[in-house]
C-alpha cells in the first residue's frame, strides 16, 4: 500500500502538499468569480412601487406678485420617487384685499410598508401637515386641508348682496358685468346694482348683487377668509374700486320694490321753486325715487320754505323692512333726494302715503295783529291770498282796523287810555285750507290751535298773526 503523504511531505510522493493547497484555493476563487459574473440575471432590479393621491393645500395669504406666478402644472420634485404637481388653484381676496390661495396638488410617493398609502418626503400626507412647494420663481408652504381622489377644488356658485359706502367716483365706476379679479383670476361678477345718495354729497351707498365662486368647509360656505353669512365683512377688488362692505343676503339677489312716503323739511326757497311732480331722483345713473306730490309753504324766513314731498321710493329689501340707501323706510328717518336741479334731505312723516294726514277742507278763521304800523295795516286788504302749487291756501275775506291803545300818565298822576297815533290793531277774517285730523286742525302741515301764531304770505306782505277763532 502506497503512502498518501511520504516523509518529505509530498502527496503520493509526487506533489508537495502546500503547493496542492494553493492550487485548490486559486481554483475555488476562480469558480466563485465565474459564478458571480455569469450567474446574474439580465433583468434589472424592480423599481419601488408608487402611487398618487390628491390634497388641498391652504397656502394662506400671499402677495399679488407671488399669487400671480403660481400656476396649474407647477411641479416640485423632492426625490426621484417623491413629487408634487399643482392640478388646480382657487384664489380669492382676503379681508385685507390680498390674495388668499388654495392649491389642489397631486402627491406622488412610494407605497409604505408601515402604513396604508404612500410616504411623501418621509411621512404620510395627513390633514394638518405642512408641505412646501419650491420652483424657480417662488417658495411657499401650506397645510393640508383635504385629501381625496378629485383633481380639482370643489367650488359652488353663490349669489350674495353686499352693501358698502363708496366715494362718488367709485360708485360711478362700478357697473353691472364687472369682473371681480384677484391675481389675474376671476372670482366673481357684478350682476345687479342699486345706488343711493347719502348725507354726504361726495359718497354714495351701493348695494351690489354678486355671483362669486365659494367653497364648502365644515358645512359652511366660504369666500376668501370669510364665512358667507348675513353681517359678514367681505372685500372685493375691482379695477377702479374696492368693495369692502357687509354681506346683506346669501342665496338671493336684490329684491326691489316701490314704497310711497311723505317727507318734509325746510329748505332754500330757490330749491323749493325747482321741485315739480314728475321729477326723478337718480344716483350714478340709477333711479332711486320719483316726485309724485309737492306742497310748498312759507315760513318766518322769506328765503326758506317748508316743503312736503310725496315720493315713490325704489327700495331693496333683505329683512322685514325695506331699505332706502343706508336707512330703513320708517317714520322719522331721513331720505336723500337728488336730481339735476337740486339735492335735499327730508324726514319721513308718513309711510304708505303721498299726502299729509287728514281730510282737506276749508275753514273760516280769524286772526289778530297788534301794534302794526298804519302803512302795513292798510296793505292788508280783502281778496289777498296765499297760494301753493296753484292752490289757494288762505284767502282774506274781511279786514277790521282800529287804532292801537296806549296808556299815558297825566299831570295829576292818573293813567289814561288813548289811541296810538300810528299803530293799528288788525282783525283778519279768512278762508283757510286745512286738514281735519282726529287730533284737530292742521294748517300748512302744522297743528294749529287758538292762541298760536301762523305765518301767512299775502304777496304784498308776510304776516304772523295770532289765531283767535276757528269755525
Give the distance between the most distant pair of CA atoms in the chain.
Answer: 197
Please give the mean pLDDT across all residues of the chain.
88
Confidence of residue 299 (pLDDT cuts 50, 70, 90): confident
Q: Give the alpha-carbon dihedral of 332, 333, 335, 336, to 10 degrees.
A: 120
Quote the DSSP letter at residue 391.
E
Q: pLDDT digit string (tens) for 436-462? A: 998 889 998 889 999 999 999 998 999
- pLDDT for 43 equals 59
Place of cell 492550487: 23
Does pLDDT of 426 surpass 90?
yes
Q: Quickly count: other Cβ atoms within 10 Å of residue 322's Cβ.
A: 20
- pLDDT for 30 equals 56
Q: pLDDT digit string (tens) for 132-165? A: 999 999 999 999 999 999 999 999 999 999 999 9
- pLDDT for 1 equals 45
CA distances from 224 to 156, 159, 297 (A): 13, 15, 54
What is the Cα–Cα distance from 58 to 94, expressed in whole angstroms?
Answer: 13
Confidence of residue 428 (pLDDT cuts 50, 70, 90): very high
- Strand ranges (E), 251-378: 256-268, 280-283, 286-298, 304-317, 322-324, 327-328, 334-338, 343-351, 359-373
Confidence of residue 321 (pLDDT cuts 50, 70, 90): confident
Does pLDDT of 42 surpass 60?
no
CA distances from 208 to 196, 256, 315, 323, 375 (A): 12, 12, 13, 14, 63
Q: pLDDT digit string (tens) for 310-320? A: 999 999 988 77
* pLDDT average, residue stretch 336-364: 93
Q: Give the alpha-carbon dihedral of 167, 169, 173, 176, to 10 degrees.
A: 50
What is the Cα–Cα distance from 396 to 377, expressed in whole angstroms?
Answer: 13
Amino acid at each position: 500500500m502506497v503512502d498518501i503523504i511520504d516523509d518529505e511531505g509530498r502527496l503520493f510522493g509526487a506533489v508537495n502538499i502546500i503547493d496542492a493547497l494553493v492550487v485548490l484555493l486559486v481554483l475555488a476563487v476562480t469558480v466563485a468569480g465565474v459564478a458571480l459574473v455569469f450567474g446574474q440575471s439580465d433583468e434589472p432590479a424592480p423599481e419601488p412601487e408608487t402611487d398618487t393621491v390628491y390634497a388641498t393645500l391652504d397656502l394662506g395669504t400671499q402677495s399679488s406678485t407671488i399669487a400671480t406666478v403660481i400656476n396649474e402644472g407647477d411641479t416640485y420634485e423632492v426625490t426621484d420617487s417623491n413629487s408634487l404637481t399643482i392640478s388646480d388653484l382657487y384664489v380669492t381676496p382676503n379681508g385685507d384685499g390680498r390674495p388668499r390661495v388654495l392649491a389642489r396638488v397631486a402627491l406622488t410617493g412610494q407605497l409604505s410598508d408601515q402604513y396604508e398609502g404612500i410616504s411623501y418626503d418621509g411621512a404620510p400626507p395627513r390633514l394638518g401637515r405642512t408641505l412646501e412647494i419650491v420652483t424657480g420663481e417662488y417658495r411657499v408652504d401650506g397645510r393640508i386641508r383635504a385629501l381625496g381622489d378629485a383633481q380639482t377644488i370643489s367650488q359652488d356658485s353663490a349669489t350674495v348682496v353686499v352693501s358698502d359706502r363708496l366715494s362718488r367716483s367709485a360708485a360711478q365706476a362700478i357697473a353691472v358685468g364687472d369682473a371681480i379679479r384677484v391675481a389675474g383670476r376671476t372670482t366673481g361678477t357684478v350682476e345687479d346694482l342699486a345706488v343711493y345718495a347719502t348725507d354726504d354729497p361726495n359718497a354714495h351707498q351701493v348695494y351690489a348683487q354678486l355671483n362669486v365662486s365659494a367653497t364648502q368647509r365644515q358645512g359652511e360656505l366660504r369666500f376668501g377668509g370669510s364665512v358667507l353669512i348675513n353681517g359678514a365683512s367681505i372685500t372685493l377688488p375691482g379695477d377702479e374700486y374696492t368693495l369692502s362692505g357687509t354681506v346683506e343676503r346669501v342665496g338671493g339677489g336684490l329684491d326691489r320694490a316701490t314704497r310711497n312716503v311723505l317727507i318734509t323739511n325746510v329748505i332754500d326757497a330757490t330749491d323749493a321753486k325747482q321741485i315739480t311732480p314728475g321729477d326723478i331722483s337718480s344716483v350714478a345713473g340709477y333711479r332711486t325715487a320719483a316726485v309724485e306730490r309737492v306742497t310748498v309753504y312759507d315760513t318766518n324766513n322769506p328765503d326758506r320754505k317748508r316743503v312736503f314731498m310725496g315720493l315713490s321710493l325704489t327700495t331693496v329689501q333683505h329683512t322685514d323692512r325695506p331699505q332706502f340707501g343706508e336707512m330703513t323706510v320708517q317714520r322719522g328717518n331721513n331720505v336723500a333726494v337728488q336730481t339735476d336741479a337740486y339735492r335735499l334731505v327730508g324726514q319721513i312723516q308718513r309711510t304708505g302715503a303721498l299726502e299729509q294726514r287728514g281730510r282737506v277742507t276749508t275753514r273760516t278763521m280769524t286772526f289778530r295783529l297788534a301794534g302794526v304800523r298804519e302803512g302795513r295795516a292798510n296793505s292788508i286788504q280783502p281778496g289777498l291770498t296765499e297760494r301753493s302749487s296753484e292752490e289757494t291756501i288762505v284767502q282774506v275775506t274781511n279786514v277790521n282796523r282800529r287804532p292801537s291803545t296806549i296808556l299815558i300818565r297825566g299831570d295829576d298822576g292818573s293813567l289814561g287810555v288813548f289811541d296810538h297815533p300810528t299803530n293799528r290793531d288788525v282783525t283778519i277774517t279768512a278762508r283757510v285750507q286745512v286738514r281735519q285730523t282726529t287730533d284737530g286742525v292742521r294748517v300748512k302741515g302744522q297743528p294749529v290751535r287758538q292762541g298760536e301764531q301762523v305765518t301767512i304770505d299775502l304777496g304784498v306782505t308776510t304776516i304772523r298773526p295770532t289765531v283767535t277763532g276757528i269755525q
